[in-house]
Amino acid sequence: MQALKPTFTSGGFMTLEGIAKHYRLPHAYCEKLAHKLKEAGILESRVGKNGGYRIVKDPKKISVQSLVDVFQKQPAVRCLLAPNAEKTCALVATCPTKRGWRRIDAEIRKTLTRLTIANI
If residue 54 lies in a helix (H) or strand (E), which one and from where to where?
A: strand 52-55
Do residues 62 and 117 lie in contact, with contact meaning Cβ atoms separated by under 8 Å?
Answer: yes
Where are the domain boundaries for CATH 1.10.10.10 in the chain?
1-56
For 1-56, CATH number? 1.10.10.10
Looking at residue 92, its pLDDT comes to 73
pLDDT in tens, 57-80: 888 999 999 999 898 866 666 676
pLDDT confidence of residue 50: 86
**Best CA proximity match to 57, nearest among 118, 109, 14:** 118
- What type of residue sits at position 36? K
